Amino acid sequence: MRAKHSFSHSLFLVLGEGGKYRLRSEFSEVDPICMVSLARRICEQLARRSFRCFTTTSCAQLSRQGINNAGIYGMGKRQVTADGLELTMATNHFGHFLLTNLLLGRLKESGRSRIINVSSLGHAFAPKFDLNDLAISKNYNPTNAYSTSKLCNLLFTRELADKLAGTDVTVNSLHPGLVQTEIFDSMNFSFGTLITNIMLAVASKDAVSGAQTNIHLAVSEEVEGVTGKYFVDCKETPTRGGKVRKDLATGLWEASVKAVELKKDEIHY
């Protein structure tokens, strides 16, 4: 059985080291495992301008591992951000896309670096992917919003790996397993949520176990140089449903560039 990784490594770098230290100064008693929840709340609220301000002030303190782990489940009622993006997609995909691109130049300058995108087995349940409706304005429901955003994590990983080919920066994605976190707090009561709560009660991982694949991809020598792959329980695993196609990955990238208004001087690939 694989030994559990230590939390002595700088794991939760969703917002970079500078952002993490500011959180710790405000929440001095918060365990590092909880940093993901705090980062999630920030990603829900940050507009594009705030992301850019953040990277300008904290980029110098960036480590060589970046873990995009902020996430929410679909809201019971469709909501949009100040930038006009559907909230689930903004938090789970567009925020990661923008932040990664803004920090990419620094990561490349730092030498061997790793980007980790936390996806979910839920990608397999995504409806037919519509590049013309990333705002999920048609037939919205929470499950579709969540599963679509998790598919986007995989498509983003595939395209970014292709764009970074030949560099010292790798990017991989993962399914952490069924972990009892605050991501389920936004779920409205339904038969589906009843089943989910039962599964959480009998089969979920604790936070430490759920973080193992994150840490494995961030620090393990076993994955040095590995890129564009999907991992479950620290093992490379095929994605489900045949949906992680190159044409969709390229199309999503182009649509995301427009959605977050990525500028020419912010392109580092």
Does residue 6 form part of some domain? no
pLDDT per residue over 141-183, tens digit each? 888 999 999 999 999 999 999 999 999 999 999 998 665 655 5
DSSP secondary structure of 35-103: HHHHHHHHHHH--HHHHHHHHHHHGGG--SEEEE----PPPSS--B-TTS-BHHHIIIIIHHHHHHHHH
Token pair for 153: 């994590």
pTM metric for this prediction: 0.77
- Could you tell me the residue range of the domain that residue 79 belongs to? 16-266
Domain count, the chain: 1
* Residuewise pLDDT in 10s, the chain (269 residues): 344 443 333 333 333 333 333 333 333 333 333 334 434 444 555 556 555 655 555 554 455 667 787 778 777 889 998 888 999 999 899 988 988 898 898 889 888 899 999 999 889 989 999 999 999 999 898 889 999 999 999 999 999 999 999 999 999 999 986 656 555 555 555 545 555 555 555 555 666 776 789 889 988 999 999 999 999 999 999 999 899 999 999 999 999 999 999 999 999 99
% of the chain at pLDDT higher than 90: 42
pLDDT per residue over 20-36, tens digit each? 333 333 333 333 333 34
Active centre residues (catalytic): 146
Cα–Cα distance measured from residue 174 to residue 54, given in angstroms and rounded to the nearest whole number = 26
Does residue 223 form part of some domain? yes
What pLDDT was estimated at residue 17?
A: 33
Cβ atoms of 127 and 148 closer than 8 Å: yes
Task: Using the Cα atoms of residue 190, residue 117, residue 230 and residue 260 in order, give the sign of their dihedral.
Answer: positive
Does residue 1 form part of some domain? no
Sheet holding 113-118: strands in order across? 65-68, 113-118, 169-175, 230-232, 235-236
The CATH number of residue 158's host domain is 3.40.50.720
